[in-house]
Amino acid sequence: MSEGADKWMIVMGCGKSQVPFIRAASGAGFRVLGVDRDLEAPGREETDRFSAVSTFDAEAVLAAIEGLNIVGIIAYSAFVECQKAAAIVRERYHLVGPKPDALKYLLNKPDWQRKLDAAGVNTPKNLPLSDCSVIAKPLRDGYGSAGIRRFESMDAAKAELGDAFSNFHLEPFLDGELFNVGGVIIDGQPHILSVCRKKTLPNLVTSGFCSLNTMDPACSGLKHAAVQAITAFGFTDTPFSVDVIRSKDGDAVIDVGCLLDARVDRLLAAAEVPVYDYIVAATFAEKAAQTTSLDAGWALDFAFADREGCVSHLTASRGEVELERPLGSHVHQPTSIADCLGYCIFRYENGEETSVSWTIQIEDEAA
């Protein structure tokens, strides 16, 4: 059979995080074209063909796949530029998954807000901004928690942001419990894979997750809010993540994305939920049998540096540590989840402490 007759799946990026997707696509019978400008990318050897171009360059990717029977594209990357490039490829090849128009609403906060308002989704924006702490989110190309800041008042936000104030979307900071709902849309049908309590640092960077029983009645409102939000954006055939805050005013959606939240795929995989198979099925718009979901009692905890320097040692009081930064790397205090040093996954019982004691050694760097 010629290459042109084979069914090809594009995987944007061949780093450590993309290797499980390459393997799942190969296991499902697809040939895999890996795209990564890093010639030493660890997933390169597991692809059927490799193209050393940037995942941010849609035209270069389109040139690399010319003549192939492309049936799907997996872009499991938090980089906005990679998501934009993948959306262009999907549109050009009539593939399922987020297209440029759908992605535009996620990256433009005023449009994001209008979409949710039109669908009747409850958000913090529906509450008054006066006399409360506020959250400032970048108006354009804001994705996840990147660039988000909290201020004690509207006046404080105006004073500190100065001329940049007009570049932010402001909404009230709700005092409540934060949850994340993760799942995948397969052939138009949303499947909830996880409901977790979400922990954050004081600067709102994600610091961990604790799983709940998705069938618990207490989760029904969270799941309803998540499905309502992804439906408002018209998402099809993609993983998704929705942050919901539960306060005295009810459940309010504060973020929506077309990926699972930070390392939640690893948490699902550790619990033997076949998340990568589900995402491949979604990418190909393949009908799925009943999916399984994450049980209660799983936790994921991130490690961060408390100062700038060179990390020389990282261990955890429980679970196996997965390094995100090689020992010897330059590190600094976190401004986003991309600054995490590593993470660990472990089981816990009801009522048990779900945090981890990290032992982190950071050395001063030589002048």
Instruction: Give the integer Cα–Cα distance in Å for 102 and 91.
Output: 11
Instruction: Give the integer Cα–Cα distance in Å for 301 and 355.
Output: 7
Assess contact for 203 and 193: CB atoms under 8 A.
no
Q: Can you give the pLDDT at residue 1?
A: 36
Question: How is residue 215 written in tokens?
Answer: 């069938």
- Residue 103: inside a domain: no
Q: Can you give the pLDDT at residue 156?
A: 85
Q: Which of 267, 282, 298 is the last residue of a domain?
A: 298
Domain extent for 332: 299-363
- Residue 303: inside a domain: yes
Question: How is residue 268 written in tokens?
Answer: 């699902």
pTM above 0.75, yes or no: yes
Q: Are residues 76 and 35 in the same domain?
A: yes
CATH code where residue 33 lies: 3.40.50.20
Q: Are residues 275 and 321 in the same domain?
A: no
CATH code where residue 254 lies: 3.30.470.20
Residue ranges of alpha helices (H) inside the chain are 19-27, 58-64, 80-93, 100-107, 109-118, 154-161, 220-232, 264-270, 275-283
Q: Are residues 304 and 280 in the same domain?
A: no
For 81, phi then psi, to 5°, come to -60, -35
- In sequence order, what are the beta bridge partners of 168? 138
Question: How is residue 339 written in tokens?
Answer: 């600054």
- CB-hemisphere CA count at 13 Å for 136? 21
Assess contact for 179 and 195: CB atoms under 8 A.
yes
Q: Are residues 45 and 88 in the same domain?
A: yes
- Residue 280: inside a domain: yes
Q: Can you give the pLDDT at residue 3?
A: 54
Question: How is residue 221 written in tokens?
Answer: 């409102």
- Total number of domains in the chain: 4
- Residue 279: inside a domain: yes
Q: Are residues 87 and 21 in the same domain?
A: yes
Nearest to 72 by CA among 50, 52, 57, 89: 89
Number of other CB atoms surrounding residue 334 within 10 Å: 20
Burial class of residue 128 in the structure, from the number of CB atoms within 10 Å of its CB (0-12 exposed, 13-18 middle, 19+ buried): exposed
Q: Are residues 152 and 189 in the same domain?
A: no
Instruction: Give the integer Cα–Cα distance in Å for 59 and 38.
Output: 18
Q: Are residues 131 and 211 in the same domain?
A: no
pLDDT, one tens digit for every residue, the chain (367 residues): 345 469 999 999 999 999 999 999 999 999 999 999 999 999 999 999 999 999 999 999 999 999 999 999 999 998 889 999 999 999 999 999 999 988 888 777 778 888 898 999 998 875 566 667 887 878 765 555 667 788 888 888 888 888 888 788 787 888 899 999 999 999 888 999 999 999 999 888 999 999 999 999 999 999 999 999 999 988 889 999 999 999 888 899 988 989 999 999 999 999 999 999 999 999 886 666 678 999 999 999 999 999 999 999 999 999 999 999 999 999 999 988 989 999 999 999 877 877 799 999 999 986 5
Q: Are residues 294 and 180 in the same domain?
A: yes
- Residue 104: inside a domain: no
- Start-to-end Cα distance in the chain: 59
- Dihedral angle of Cα 323, 329, 331, 336, to the nearest 10 degrees: -50
- Residue 102: inside a domain: no
pLDDT tens, 121-180? 998 875 566 667 887 878 765 555 667 788 888 888 888 888 888 788 787 888 899 999
Tokens 């696509």, residue located = 25
- Residue 70: inside a domain: yes
Instruction: Give the integer Cα–Cα distance in Å for 157 and 126.
Output: 19
Q: Can you give the pLDDT at residue 300?
A: 96
Tokens 């049908």, residue located = 189
Q: CA triplet 304, 306, 312: central angle to 5 degrees? A: 70
Q: Are residues 322 and 292 in the same domain?
A: no
Instruction: Give the integer Cα–Cα distance in Å for 124 and 244.
Output: 10
Q: Are residues 291 and 266 in the same domain?
A: yes
Number of other CB atoms surrounding residue 321 within 10 Å: 18
Q: Are residues 332 and 358 in the same domain?
A: yes
Question: How is residue 150 written in tokens?
Answer: 């909290």
Residue ranges of alpha helices (H) inside 180-312 are 220-232, 264-270, 275-283
- Residue 106: inside a domain: no
Instruction: Give the integer Cα–Cα distance in Å for 74 and 279.
Output: 8
Q: Are residues 157 and 196 in the same domain?
A: no
DSSP type of residue 159: H
